[in-house]
Amino acid sequence: MLRIAIAFALTSACFAQTAVDGRAGAQLLRKRFTSATTEKDREYFLLLPRGYESEKGRKWPVLLFLHGGGERGDGLGDLEKVLAHGPLMEAWTKNRDLPFVMISPQMPAMEQATRPAAAPPANAARRPSAPIMTRQMREDAPRWNEEGPPLGWWVNEKDVLKMVDDTLRDYRTDADRVYVTGLSYGGFGTWHFAGAHPDRWDAVAPICGAANPKLIAPIAAAKLPIWIVQGGLDPVVRPEWVLASAAALQKAGHPAVRFTVHEDMQHNVWMRAYEGWDLYNWLLSHRRGQTAAK
């Protein structure tokens, strides 16, 4: 009985921050589901932003965040790995007032891969102290196939889309402002969800990830607002590979490809992208039915 009670408590866990300036604090929920990928029970994080409980008449934008390869896990005891980087870390750990209902799932651990995934460099957790901003264009090809690194977010597509649908149904959300962003593995995943389901998103922002060439045309046809962010010194996902995706999107007729390269940043370019306000404000500026704009 004790084990059952503990399991129920963990499944229903809700962590709440204290009220701020008269508004209710943010809440971090753990949502239980049975995965179509693993056929096992897992959980994902759902953040209700500051003010969600106190501003009853407000509908909130939705932000799906896809983490990188280092944050994989069992979706239960490992779930807190997802708090290491990105918008969820900024909103929950740093207690920033980011006005999104955030969905943050966890990819299953990679037990068997046909080839090793590219690992971040040893110093990926910190910015280079004295970077040499010299772009060395190389002819080497990526160490993965067209889809991206092995066993990526596309493997979990059914789970992720159901999370989005359930959130839109069960919470006070704005169905005309639904966004997706991700870093590294999640950057490739952002490209995938943008191309495979361009009608579901109102803006997307892949960070240090390249596109499957087969998914370029749907993104361009939908004129889906996109902001691509890349580190100029990235040794894992090379900037020329990401440039090729941006150029292909433009060639396919996308009217406003936004591509930013931080020449002094390595694979951890997401640190700068997510710690500022520009990316969030850009996402919020896009609503269903608008044409793509810079």
Of the listed ranges 1-15, 113-127, 226-240, the one predicted with least confidence: 113-127
pLDDT value for 254: 97
Phi, psi of 145 (to 5 degrees): -85, -170
Closest CA to 273 of 122, 65, 93: 65
Q: What is the DSSP letter of 252?
A: T
Average pLDDT on 221-244 reads 94
The model's pTM is 0.86
Judge whether residue 234 has pLDDT over 70: yes
H or E segment and range at residue 179 = strand 173-183
Judge whether residue 9 has pLDDT over 50: no
CA–CA separation, 104 vs 90, rounded Å? 13
CA–CA separation, 177 vs 283, rounded Å? 8
CA–CA separation, 72 vs 52, rounded Å? 29
Contact 11, 3 (CB under 8 A): no
CA–CA separation, 191 vs 147, rounded Å? 10
pLDDT value for 135: 61
On the 0-12 / 13-18 / 19+ scale of CB atoms within 10 A, 1 is exposed
User: Angle of helix 185-196 relative to helix 157-170, nearest 10 degrees?
Assistant: 70
Average pLDDT, the chain: 86
Q: What structural domains and CATH numbers belong to the chain? A: 22-109+136-284 (3.40.50.1820)
Task: Tell me the C-alpha to C-alpha distance, in Å, between residue 281 and each of 10, 61, 99, 179.
Answer: 34, 12, 10, 12
Contact 96, 26 (CB under 8 A): no
CB-based contacts of 203: which residues, under 8 Å, 6+ apart? 179, 224, 225, 226, 227, 282, 283, 285, 286
Of the listed ranges 125-139, 165-179, 229-243, 273-287, the one predicted with least confidence: 125-139
Judge whether residue 187 has pLDDT over 70: yes
CA–CA separation, 153 vs 158, rounded Å? 10
User: pLDDT tens for residues 42-93?
Assistant: 999 999 999 999 999 999 999 999 999 989 999 999 999 999 999 999 999 9
pLDDT value for 1: 45
pLDDT-above-70 percentage for the chain: 84
Confidence of residue 294 (pLDDT cuts 50, 70, 90): very low
Contact 241, 285 (CB under 8 A): no
Judge whether residue 161 has pLDDT over 90: yes
